[in-house]
Amino acid sequence: MGNDFLTLAHARYSCRKIRNDVPVEPEKLDAIAEAALAAPTGCNFQPWRLWVITDPIALEKTRSATGFKFGGSAMLVLGVRPDEAWTRKYDDWNIADIDGGIVGAHILLAVESLGLATTWIGKFHQDQLKEAFPQMEGCRLVAMFPIGYAAEDAVPAAHHAESRTEAELVERI
């Protein structure tokens, strides 16, 4: 693994103070979508949808579906479709959420690589989003990503640096 990847992975943090006043360049939003498309999924079924929201009225609707006020000039909403995902037959394990997690990880790292900031938001009301955006019906909405440039005084949360030890989490057999 190249050092470039480790540098990127260590630089990323959940940014909760994102500028509203500087729009994200459309090419950067396109690059994030491209990174999402490059994500692997079970059987390559790609059972996910991404909504890239920049319209101010629509943005406000997304914000009211979560209590967080992290800012940002764009919002991504990521959904998965269990009905399109691979299911492991012997124990009936549907892997839609895993696929969505991988797509989300690509998005987090793409955002970092483009000099932008975000936080994965899992705490939101998906029913409220679906009411505002009928096209989201049929998906399990797994993440919202406010996107934009970090405020000058944005810092990682204290627990960002709290990592459990490798010995605790990784066993070499």
Ligand X SMILES: Cc1cc2nc3c(=O)[nH]c(=O)nc-3n(C[C@H](O)[C@H](O)[C@H](O)COP(=O)(O)O)c2cc1C
The footprint of ligand X (CB under 6 A) covers: 13-14, 68, 119-123, 156-157, 159-160
Q: Which is nearer to ligand X, 27 or 153 (CB)?
A: 153
Q: Find the shortest distance in angstroms from Cβ 68 to ligand X.
A: 6
Q: Find the shortest distance in angstroms from Cβ 26 to ligand X.
A: 26
Q: Which residues 6+ apart lie within 8 Å of 148 measured at CB?
A: 18, 19, 20, 22, 24, 71, 72, 73, 74, 116, 117
Q: Find the shortest distance in angstroms from Cβ 149 to ligand X.
A: 17
Q: Are the C-beta atoms of residues 66 and 123 closer than 8 Å to each other?
A: yes
Q: Which residue is nearest to ligand X (CB)?
A: 122
Give dist(CA 45, CA 47) in Å, integer. Answer: 6
- Quick one: tokens of 87? 């299911």
Q: Which is nearer to ligand X, 23 or 82 (CB)?
A: 82
